[in-house]
Amino acid sequence: MSSLPSTSSSNSRKKYDVFLSFRGEDTRTNFTDHLYDALSRSGIVTFRDDPKLEAGEEIAPELFTAIQQSWCSVIVFSQTYAFSSWCLEELAEIVKQHNNDGHKVFPIFYDVDPSDLRKRKEKVEEVFARHKDSEKIQRWRNALIQVAGIKGWYLNNRHESEFIREIIKKISAKLCHPVTHSDLVGMTERLEDLYLKINIGENDVRIIGICGMGGIGKTTLARLAYNQMSRHFESKSFIADIREVSDRCGLVSLQKQLLSEIFHDECFKFFNVHEGNDIISHMLSRKKVLVVLDDVDNIQHLKCLVGRHDWFGLGSRIIVTTREEHLLRSWPVNDMYEPTTLNPKDALQLFSLKAFHSDTVPKDDFIELSYHVVKYAGGLPLALEILGCFLCGRDATQWRSAIERLKRDSNKEILDKLRISFDGLEEREKNIFLDIACFFNGEEKDCVKKVLDGCEFFPDIGIDVLIKKSLIKVDEHKYLWMHNLLQEMGRKIVREKCVDKPGKRCRLWEERDVYHVLTKNTGTKIIEGIIIDNKRLERMPFKIVTFKLSTGQPCCTSFII
C-alpha cells in the first residue's frame, strides 16, 4: 500500500510503510528474508537494516530515523531477540513513536511464546543486568511489556508460507491512509474492511463488489480506495456514473473510455461491443490494472467491461459499485462488501462538518436541533451532507422551520437520489415496496407475505428482488426493515398521486387521512389498503365502506388494524 501521512499536525508523508525489526542472527537469512520479499512484492515499502549498520555496539542513528519515517513497525520476536541490547533499544524507540506519534506496531511471535516476554524470563534479566544505565533498562523493560501485550501473529507450528501470506493480507488491509480529508468521516474502518477483501498482496485477479442503498457512500469509498492503491498497478481506470453514461452514450463509449484511460496514447476505433470485448481481453490480459466500475445496474455493463477474469493480467483488481446485489451474485465476483450507515457519533461529526465547518456542534440551541436532523438522516451520508449544507449559515429559527417542514415534506434532492432504485422495479415489486413503506416496515416477514399473497404479488420473489436491490433488509429475527428515508420516499410517491384528496390515493396510513375518508365517505376504488391504530378505532365514528381495486379484484383491498 502507499506510504501513509503522519498523524501529527504536519501531516507529512512517511518515507516507508513498514520498519522491519528483527534479530539478524536468528532470522535474517530465513523467515525475515522471506517476509521482506513478500512485503516488497506486495508493493509495501519496507525498511530492513543493512548488516553493516550492526558493526558497533550502539544502535546506528539511521535506524532511529527510519523508525520515525515509517508508518508502522513489524517486530519479529525470535528466541534471542530480547537478549540483544541493539534490538531492545530499537524496540524502545518504536514504542516511543507508537505512544507519541500514532506509529502502528505489529508483533510477530516467531518460535517464541508471548508470555515469555511479558514475564521477563531470566535470560532477559541477564541482558538488563549487564547495563548500568537504570533509566535505559526501565525503558527496555516497559517497551517489552507493552509490545508483548499487543495482539500479534503467532507462528505456532504452521507452514511459514501460509503464515506470511496471512501477515501480508492483514498488513495490506491496515495500510490504508488515515483519512485526513475532513469530510470523509468514518472511512478508515470501511477501507480496512474493503482492503481485506481486495487482498492486494495476492498475485491473482479479483473482482470485488461494493453493494448498498443509494447515498450509503459506495462511490466515495471506491474513489478513496482507487486513489490509494493506484500506484501499485501498471495502469488504472475509474469509470463513473455507468448507469447514466450507458443510457446516454451506449456501451461502446464505456469500452472506449476504459481503453483510453489505460492506453493514453492510443486511438480506438470500433463500433460494436463484440469488437470492444475482443480488444479489451487482448490488450489487458497481460497488464496489471486497477479498474473501478461505478454505479452498475445492468448485467451488460459487466459483460462488456469485465468479461472474464482472464481478460486481465495477474494482480489486477476490479471494483464494482452497485445498488443491486443480484448483479454481483449472478457474476463471478470474488467477494462483496456492504457499507453500513454511520454510527450516531460519526453521523453527528459529518453533519457538523457540513453545517458548521467544524467537527463539533456549537453550543446553545443548535445542539438539540442537530440531534433532530441527525436522527432524521438515519446515518445516511448523502442525507447528512445535503441537510448540513442546506442549514449551513442559517439561524436557529430557520433551523426549526426547516425541521418542521421535513416532517411534512422531505428534502427533494435526497429522495430523488433514492428514487432511482424504485423507478427500476417491475410493477408488482413497486406495489410490494409501497406496501412495506406504508404499512409493513418493521413487521414479521412471514405475516407480510401472507397479506401480499392475497394480492397476487408473488411476495417470495418480490421481497427477494427488493432485498437484492438494497431497498429492504430482513433482520436476524425475520422482520422486514426499510431505512426511514426510503420509507419516506415510498410514502411521498403515494401522496403525489393526489395531494389534496386522500380518498384518491392507493394507500392510507396517516390517521387524519383515514379519519377523513371513513367519516366523510370519500373513498374510491383506487384505495388498495388502509392501516388503522386499533387503540383509536373505537373513537372513530365511521361507516364500514367496501373498496375495490381498479382491476376489479375484490379481496385485495384490506384494513390493517
Q: What is the per-residue pLDDT across 224-239, written as a single tens digit (0 to 9) for each?
A: 999 888 878 889 999 9
Average pLDDT over residues 267-281: 93
> Which residue out of 89, 90, 325, 528 is catalytically annotated?
90
State which H helix or E strand residue 47 sits in. Answer: strand 46-48
Query: By C-alpha distance, which of 340, 322, 326, 383 is closest to 481?
Result: 340
- Per DSSP, 343 falls in state P
Helix (H, G, I), strand (E, B) or coil at 418: helix
- Residue 558, C-beta contacts closer than 8 angstroms, at least 6 positions apart: 451, 454, 529, 530
Return the pLDDT at 283: 94
Query: By C-alpha distance, which of 334, 339, 423, 429 is closest to 381?
Result: 339
Return the pLDDT at 545: 43
Helix (H, G, I), strand (E, B) or coil at 447: helix
Return the pLDDT at 11: 34
> Percentage of the chain with pLDDT > 70?
86
Average pLDDT score, the chain? 84
Backbone angles phi and psi of 238, in degrees to 5 = -120, 110
Return the pLDDT at 259: 94
pLDDT in tens, 159-168: 888 899 888 8
Return the pLDDT at 446: 92
- Residue 429, C-beta contacts closer than 8 angstroms, at least 6 positions apart: 462, 465, 466
State which H helix or E strand residue 128 sits in. Answer: helix 122-129
Largest Cα–Cα separation, the chain:
99
- Residue 452, C-beta contacts closer than 8 angstroms, at least 6 positions apart: 432, 435, 459, 462, 463
CB 242 within 8 A of CB 301: yes
pLDDT in tens, 349-376: 999 999 998 877 777 789 999 999 999 9
Q: 3-state SS string over 321-386? A: EECCHHHHHCCCCCEEECCCCCCHHHHHHHHHHHHHCCCCCCCCCHHHHHHHHHHHHCCCHHHHHH
List the single range of 58-67, 168-177, 397-406 with lowest mean pLDDT. 168-177
Average pLDDT over residues 454-479: 91
Identify the band that residue 173 occupies on the pLDDT scale cut at 50, 70 and 90: confident
pLDDT in tens, 370-383: 999 999 999 999 99
Q: 3-state SS string over 4-42? A: CECCCCCCCECCEEEEEECCHHHHCCCHHHHHHHHHHHC
HSE at residue 80, side-chain half, CA atoms within 13 A, is: 8
Structure-block grid coordinates of residue 538: 373505537
Return the pLDDT at 150: 86
Helix (H, G, I), strand (E, B) or coil at 531: strand
pLDDT in tens, 92-141: 999 999 999 889 999 998 888 777 665 555 666 666 676 666 788 888 88
For residue 525, what are the β-bridge partners? Answer: none
pLDDT in tens, 282-310: 999 999 999 999 999 999 999 999 999 99
Q: Would you give the distance in Å from CA 492 to the centre of its chain?
A: 29
Return the pLDDT at 274: 95
81: number of Cβ within 10 Å: 24
Return the pLDDT at 118: 55
HSE at residue 7, side-chain half, CA atoms within 13 A, is: 14
Average pLDDT over residues 412-435: 92
Return the pLDDT at 347: 94
Distance CA 462, CA 259 (A): 38
More reliable by pLDDT, 15 or 485: 485
What b/e sequence results for 278-309 when a residue is b if at least 16 CB atoms lie within 10 Å of its CB, and e otherwise? ebbeeebeebbbbbbbbbbbbeebbebbbbee
HSE at residue 239, side-chain half, CA atoms within 13 A, is: 30
pLDDT in tens, 19-72: 999 998 889 889 999 999 988 877 788 999 876 555 555 667 888 899 999 989
Query: By C-alpha distance, which of 442, 438, 441, 561 is closest to 510?
Result: 438
Opening angle at CA 199, ends 197 and 203, nearest 5: 140
Helix (H, G, I), strand (E, B) or coil at 357: coil
Identify the band that residue 174 occupies on the pLDDT scale cut at 50, 70 and 90: confident
Q: What is the DSSP string of 260-274?
A: HHHSTT------SHH
Distance CA 107, CA 120 (A): 17
Opening angle at CA 484, ends 556 and 241, nearest 5: 100
Backbone angles phi and psi of 42, in degrees to 5 = -90, 5
Size (the chain), residues: 561
Identify the band that residue 183 occupies on the pLDDT scale cut at 50, 70 and 90: low
Q: Would you give the distance in Å from CA 152 to the centre of its chain?
A: 25
Burial of 377 (0-12, 13-18, 19+ CB in 10 A): buried
Average pLDDT over residues 305-326: 94
- Sort strands 16-21 and 507-508 into parallel, antiparallel or unpaired: unpaired
For the sheet with 507-508, list strands across it. 507-508, 529-531, 558-560
Instruction: Please tell me the pTM assigned to this model.
Output: 0.71
- What's the Cα-to-Cα distance from 148 to each of 19, 79, 83, 245, 354, rounded to whole Å? 18, 14, 15, 54, 42
HSE at residue 133, side-chain half, CA atoms within 13 A, is: 8
Does residue 246 carry a pLDDT above 90? Answer: yes
90 catalytic? Reply is: yes
